[in-house]
Chain A
């Protein structure tokens, strides 16, 4: 069936949809654990480290949403042709990732089996404008429909509407993601988060992640020949963003080392030498997530689609670990009073948390392939 707005049901292999269902099912383990034993017992979070993998996962997924939305916006809004590729698919990834983000945070919030999250709606009129999370609710609640509209307009080839939807949607994405960073960095008692570069780093790295996603998708969709030129521009942009991230990371370490804040000093020691986060930070976040993709992009002279693909994956993995290090690193140390030594808390990820995180990736894929099943996402020949 084909209608006026071009909703084409393509011939589609259901295998991906089924596969993503299986990945969603992995999440069932954690979900069942929560049902049987409750969150307290199922999750690795504690009194001292109340934000764990699910929050990390949330910040990761909405980061992908931001990244992909920005790449799309660069195409629609700024009419940069090299970015104007697979805009429908990208927009769909954006929406899918946002839904995955909602899914994962749903399981982090209290009473998932009581729909307790609805209290956000019930008590919305408390207008807690001082609360970053209240704003987060406002912004993401608005962002989802906007991004959905963007997909709709793109599918119905309403260029003009798509332009506005993308413009507003992407702006909202940036504001929303900045607000998400604010949820962390508004805590003045947590100096690792409470820096001016924190939100900036969050946004830049998320955008880098978006470029990573595009490069991966070009490769997987087998359109490397078609987008030869784009790959070069995308790779160079990613390289630039990674450089930017490296500089921020480096300056953070340097500046924080000069800080007079003892908690920050102690926290930074977690990231160096034998610190509990040092391996994560240096290996996953810096080497694997930034330096290696930069190196590969250089080796391929920004032309190699394979190396761009690998770099894309590494960027995404690095994005995840940068969130992990930031979220956990800000919570691991505390002390009851200034006269005492810092206590190092422990956070070990539980099987339930991992399963829900994997399940959320499944949700992302599922929503995406569901869209792919019902909509025609192929580019019309320009």
Chain B
């Protein structure tokens, strides 16, 4: 699966999450798995991932709902990294993961402002801004990210999209639709939303 970061041979991974919209049932398992694994503070506004319930209407005025799981998009062009004054927010060249080194953060929160996805929160215990790490520590242990591992509907999928043989590449290849959030922002997100049904 995902090998350790120390192995230089894996330098050109492009890690991404592929979320199958038709499979999300809005159970919020991901939210809890993530919070417990990373000791995310016990606050409603502290989370690394969550699921929005999107209410709408169809052409006939009948209600519709859908679910939108959100997390850090690990943007290729990450505005949070650009604005960070100390380099605490940074992006790994080898796989594209965007991280916050809590020992370098001064808590100016410019990154929280810059992120178009509201993916970051301030962690009072760490005295640092914090965020989704794509579960890098778990990846180094050969595990899937916590939210992916627990995803009841099999909506969340994770892997290297630069490897055309990976399961996520296959998903993208066979999807009936592919989108990313707020592409207009030019952030080049690495979280893909696909559907598999028409």
Do the beta carbons of A47 and B121 come within 8 Å of each other?
Answer: yes
- Give Cα A51–Cα B54 distance, bound, in whole angstroms: 27
Do the beta carbons of B106 and A120 come within 8 Å of each other?
Answer: yes
> Number of A interface residues, CB 8 Å?
44
Task: For B43, list chain A residues within 8 Å (CB).
Answer: 40
Segment with Cβ contacts to B, from A86-94, A130-138, A154-162: A130-138
Do the beta carbons of B113 and A128 come within 8 Å of each other?
Answer: no
Would you give the shortest CB distance from B111 to chain A, in whole angstroms? Answer: 9
Main secondary structure of the interface of A (DSSP, over half): loop
Q: Does A81 contact B (CB under 8 A)?
A: no
Q: Does A235 contact B (CB under 8 A)?
A: no
Query: What are 5 A-B contacts defined by CB distance under 8 Å?
Result: A48-B118, A50-B109, A122-B86, A123-B86, A184-B113
Do the beta carbons of B182 and A133 come within 8 Å of each other?
Answer: no
Do the beta carbons of A188 and B107 come within 8 Å of each other?
Answer: no
Residues of B bordering A, CB below 8 Å? 41, 43, 45-46, 52, 54, 56, 68, 70, 79, 82-88, 104-110, 112-118, 120-122, 124, 127-128, 181-182, 184-186
Do the beta carbons of B117 and A336 come within 8 Å of each other?
Answer: yes
Do the beta carbons of B85 and A120 come within 8 Å of each other?
Answer: yes
Q: Within residues 38 to 64 of chain A, which ones have a CB less than 8 A from any CB in chain B? A: 38-41, 45-48, 50-51
Would you give the shortest CB distance from B62 to chain A, in whole angstroms? Answer: 17
**Chain A window 228-248, contacts with chain B (Cβ cutoff 8 Å), 1 for yes, 0 for no:** 000000000000000000000
Do the beta carbons of A336 and B68 come within 8 Å of each other?
Answer: yes
Q: Does A190 contact B (CB under 8 A)?
A: yes
Q: Does A111 contact B (CB under 8 A)?
A: yes
Q: Does A148 contact B (CB under 8 A)?
A: no
Q: Which of A114, A120, A132 makes the CB contact (< 8 A) with B86?
A: A120
Q: A132-B110, A339-B54 are in contact. List 17 more A-B contacts (CB 8 A).
A: A38-B124, A40-B124, A47-B45, A47-B121, A109-B108, A114-B127, A119-B88, A136-B85, A184-B113, A187-B113, A187-B114, A189-B79, A189-B114, A189-B116, A334-B118, A339-B68, A340-B52
Q: Which of B46, B124, B185 makes the CB contact (< 8 A) with A189?
A: B185
Do the beta carbons of A338 and B113 come within 8 Å of each other?
Answer: no
Do the beta carbons of A340 and B68 come within 8 Å of each other?
Answer: yes
Do the beta carbons of B46 and A47 come within 8 Å of each other?
Answer: yes
Do the beta carbons of A336 and B85 come within 8 Å of each other?
Answer: no
Q: Does A348 contact B (CB under 8 A)?
A: no
Would you give the shortest CB distance from A353 to chain B, in whole angstroms? Answer: 14
